[in-house]
Structure 1
C-alpha cells in the first residue's frame, strides 16, 4: 500500500501471485530511543527548515543539490536519502503495477544502499542478510532493510518457488558469518479483513 502521510490517501500495490514476501529478523536488538533515530528526524527537520518548510517533501532534489555546499555533509546526506526514497517509492508502485520485478530489484537495492550510506541506519548484520539474499535472487526479486533501522528486519520480494531455498541459505550462512540465528517469516500478500 502506498500511503500519503500528508492527506492519508492510499493506493494498493499489487503483488503478483507467484511472489512471496520473506521477512528475516536479524535478531540484532535495537533501542530506537537510545539510538540515533531521533537524531535522524531532527536532521531532516533542520534541512526542511533551511528551505522554509515543515517537511522535506516540499523540497525538490534540484533545490537540495543546489544547496549542498551550504549544508553540513550529514544533513545533505539525510535529506538526499529521504527525497530519493520518496521517488523510489513512487517508482516501486509503478513497477508493481507492471509486474516488473527487475525494476523492483534495482529500486530495492538502491533503497538499501541509501539507508546504509546516506541515512546510516543499517548494521553489518542487516547488510550481510541483504547480501546473502541479493546474491541468490539477482534481478528476480528485491531485498532491503525495513523498519527504523539499527537492527531488526530485512524484507525481500522473491519468487515463491525460492522460499525454501533462500530460507535454508540464510539459516546456514547468517549464523556462520555473524554468530546469530535469524528468525524467518514467509508471507504472501492477501486482502485485509473487511466486512
Structure 2
C-alpha cells in the first residue's frame, strides 16, 4: 500500500515542478463524548485518530501563496497581502484561511515569504471526523515553523477556529482543532472550552481489549449549512433568556427553572448541552476510577440526547447505534456535528467482525447505502513528518 507521504511528495513535484522542503501532518479526530458543548464554553473529550492529512511545502521567493490538493484539479493562488475572508472560497478557504488568521491573532506577516503547498488526506470528508480541522492544523504547524512564528498549540487551535468561522463560514467551536493539535497516543484530550485548558487522559482501550469502530454512514454533512448554525443560535438564545454568558453556566439543578422560562424546543436544546457537559465529566471520572469498560452507558445516553433533545441524528446513525449495541458494543453514539456523518462504537476486540457484519446487513435490509467501517486508535497530534 502506498504511503500517503510518498504520494504527497510525488504529487507536489508533479504540480509545482520542484521538490518540497518538508512535510507536515495532522490527524482527524473522533469525539468520544461532548457534542455541541464546545461553542457553549463547555467540556469535550475528543481524541486524535490514526488517519491524517499530510501537506508538502516549499517556500517561494515572492509573497504568493499557491495551494493545490487532491480535492481539486487546479491550484489556487493569492498574494499574502490580499488575504481576507471575502477573497477566499471553496476548499482553499481552509488552508488560506489559516494563513489569514495567523495575521489576525498576533503574527506579523509583513515580511514572510510565500509558499507552494500540496495537501492530501486519509480523513474521510463529511463523516464527522473533522477533516477540516486536520487541514487547518497541518497548515498551522507548517506555517508556524517555516515563518518562525513560535506560536503555542493553544494559539494555533484558535487560528484554526478563526479560519473556519470567518473564512469558511462554519460557526464551529474549538474542540476539533484542539484535538488535532494536542492529541497523544492512546489518550483523549479533556478540554475546557472556556479556559482552553487541556488535560491528556489515558484511554486504555487496547489494554482492556476494546476497539473503537467508526461507522461512516456516507451521509455527508457540512457545518457551513443551516442545521448546525440553527442549533448554535438556539443555544445562544437559551443562554440569553436564562441570563448567563453561556450554557456552561447552567447546571443540572437549573433545568427546572429553564423549563419554565424557555419554549419547548429551546429547552430541549439547552437540556442536551447541560446533560452532555455532565456526561463528559462523568466519563473522565469513570475512566480514572473504573476503566474504559464502564463508560458504555454514558455513550448510549449521549446518543439518546442528541437524537431526542438536540435532534441532529438521522435514521442511518440511529440504525448503526442500535445494531452495534444489539451485537455486543458496550456503548455507541453518533459523533460530530450531526445531520449525517459517523457513529463511534466501543467494541470488544473479538466482536468487531460480528458487529461490522450486522451493521452492513441492517443497512442493506433498510435500503441504505453500504457504510464505510473501520477501526481507529488514539494517535499523536499535528507534527512535522520525516
TM-score by length of 1: 0.90
Give the corresponding residue for 2:343: 154
Give the corresponding residue for 2:321: 130
Give the corresponding residue for 1:11: 199
Residue among 316, 332, 348 paired with 1:143:
332
Q: Over the residues paired in the alignment, what is the CA RMSD in angstroms?
A: 1.8
Give the corresponding residue for 1:101: 293
Relative to structure 1, the CA distance from residue 67 to residue 170 in structure 2 (aligned partners, 3 Å threshold; closer, same or farther) is closer
Q: Is the 8 A contact 1:27 1:182 kept in 2?
A: yes
Q: Which moved more, 1:177-186 or 1:141-150?
A: 177-186
Alpha-carbon shift at residue 155 of structure 1 (Å): 0.5
Q: Is the 8 A contact 1:147 1:153 kept in 2?
A: yes
- Return the structure number with greater relative CO, CA threshold 8 A, min gap 6: 1
When Rg is computed on C-alpha atoms for both structures, the one with the higher figure is: 2
| Higher strand proportion (structure 1 or 2) | 2
Unaligned runs of 5+ in 2: 1-188
Alpha-carbon shift at residue 30 of structure 1 (Å): 2.0
Structure 2 matches for 1:18-167, cutoff 5 A? Answer: 18-97=209-288, 98-102=290-294, 104-137=295-328, 141-167=330-356
Question: What is the rounded CA distance, in whole Å, between the counterparts of 2:245 and 2:279 in structure 1?
Answer: 22
Question: What is the rounded CA distance, in whole Å, between the counterparts of 1:136 and 1:149 in structure 2?
Answer: 23
Alpha-carbon shift at residue 187 of structure 1 (Å): 1.4
Give the corresponding residue for 1:171: 360
Relative to structure 1, the CA distance from residue 124 to residue 35 in structure 2 (aligned partners, 3 Å threshold; closer, same or farther) is farther
Alpha-carbon shift at residue 168 of structure 1 (Å): 1.9
